[in-house]
Amino acid sequence: MSDLEIRDIPLADVDQMMDLADLVFHHRTPAEDRERELWAARRAERLAAYVDDVSAGQAAVLPMRLAVPGAFLDCSAITFVGVLPTHRRRGVLTAMMERMLMDAAAANRPVAALWASQSAIYGRYGFGLADRAISLEIDTSRPLALRTEPDPRPLRLIDRDSAPEILGPIHTRALARRPGGLVRDAEWWDKNMLPAVDDDDEDFTEPRVAVLDGEPGGYVIYRTHGEGTGHVRIDDLVADTPQVEAALWRYLASIDLTTKIKAPSRPVDDLIPHMVADFDRVEVTGSHGALWVRLVDAPAALRARSWATGDSLVIELLDERLPANQGRWRLAAGTCDRTEDAPDLTLSASDLGAAYLGGTSVSTLARIGVVTEHTPDAAARLDRAFAVPLAPYTNDDF
């Protein structure tokens, strides 16, 4: 291997990061998205990998807080990963990842998380796919009857500038109920509600924001497209109660000159497929992987997480990249202690990352042979302890 050195990227060079991102992702970022990405790059910890003095790769880490079951944890949110096509498969990403995980540990962030461009990349670094999302389409060409009585209070449309103040508290309450989301500050709301270019290149309006005020309350951020047979596309929909959620869906379904709602990202346990009186009106059109999670300080992350049973069991954690995690741990509510006791099950860092938010069944991982049970029912016991009332879900782009 040639000489490889990791250096910090100075603030003055963030523009070049956008250029490298465009090069490796084969696109040209439109001006309005570029502004948002520059904002993210400026607030990030930025690093470049130099090979023989050539800047061959980059990555960035946003210090964020991740909602995990029963707690919020400091998290290295990894993004902007790219390596020049001329320098691929020579260990550049591996060197950057080692540095980012080391930095996360030094900064006392118990977890790291990312959105992967390809599933094949990050398991080797101890990341596991911790949640998924589904996409839905709802036929609204006729009135949509709901089985849940909608909250009768009126909605109002608000200015995007009011979003942090009004939507922020509703979003924060939702994070406490459902793991997988990231804490948003005022700047996040501001930058992430800029018009974005649509994946399907359709001509959507700017985001509209409808709110049901109070507690319980809720909001929906959506865009509309077309006339007559146009549709509504949901960017974000959050409600404190199923009744508020029903009120938001009823509102969206009744917007004139539209015949369809498209929801590209909803939780896997979303209520709307069950809420509609006629199930045929809702079609689940897809499912995609969302957040990949890595326990950087596994004992700290496991102690912080809520535990749904009074059980206690021993895991043998395989984690060669972060040896402080490696070995046997006795787990119980609020407890993760080193032990010499025989393990109930053996699992890898990436499988623990996948299971940590409660969105991946350890029993399934045992059935496919990647988690090893040493005592009967051990995987099911860990599943019961990791159980969460609402499936993890991530709708934060970073």
Binder of ligand ACO out of 14, 17, 104, 114 (CB under 6 A): 114
Is 82 annotated among the ligand-binding residues? Answer: yes
Contact flags string 31-60 toward ligand ACO, x per CB under 6 A: --------------------------x---
Q: Is 279 among the catalytic positions?
A: no
CB of 77 to ligand ACO, least distance (A): 9
Of 72, 122, 219, 222, which one is the catalytic site residue? 122
Is 81 annotated among the ligand-binding residues? Answer: yes
Structure tokens at 347: 């699992």
Report how far residue 195's alpha carbon sits from residue 32's, in angstroms, rounded to the nearest whole number: 7
Q: Is 398 among the catalytic positions?
A: yes
Please report whether residue 116 would count as binding ligand ACO according to CB under 6 A: yes
Binder of ligand ACO out of 118, 152, 256, 310 (CB under 6 A): 118
Residue 246 identity (one-letter amino acid): A
Give the residue with the Cβ less far from ligand ACO, 104 or 313: 104
Contact flags string 172-201 toward ligand ACO, x per CB under 6 A: ------------------------------
CB of 109 to ligand ACO, least distance (A): 16
Report how far residue 117's alpha carbon sits from residue 100's, in angstroms, rounded to the nearest whole number: 18
Spell out where the chain has E strands: 4-8, 45-51, 54-68, 71-83, 111-115, 128-129, 132-139, 156-158, 208-212, 218-225, 230-239, 258-266, 282-289, 291-295, 313-318, 327-332, 335-338, 345-348, 372-373
Report how far residue 199's alpha carbon sits from residue 262's, in angstroms, rounded to the nearest whole number: 13
Neighbouring CB atoms inside 10 A of 124's CB total 12
Write out the binding residues for ligand ACO, residues 56-95 only, by CB under 6 A: 57, 78-83, 88-94
Which residues are tagged catalytic? 122, 398
Q: Name the residues that contact ligand ACO, by CB under 6 A.
A: 24-25, 57, 78-83, 88-94, 114-118, 120-121, 124
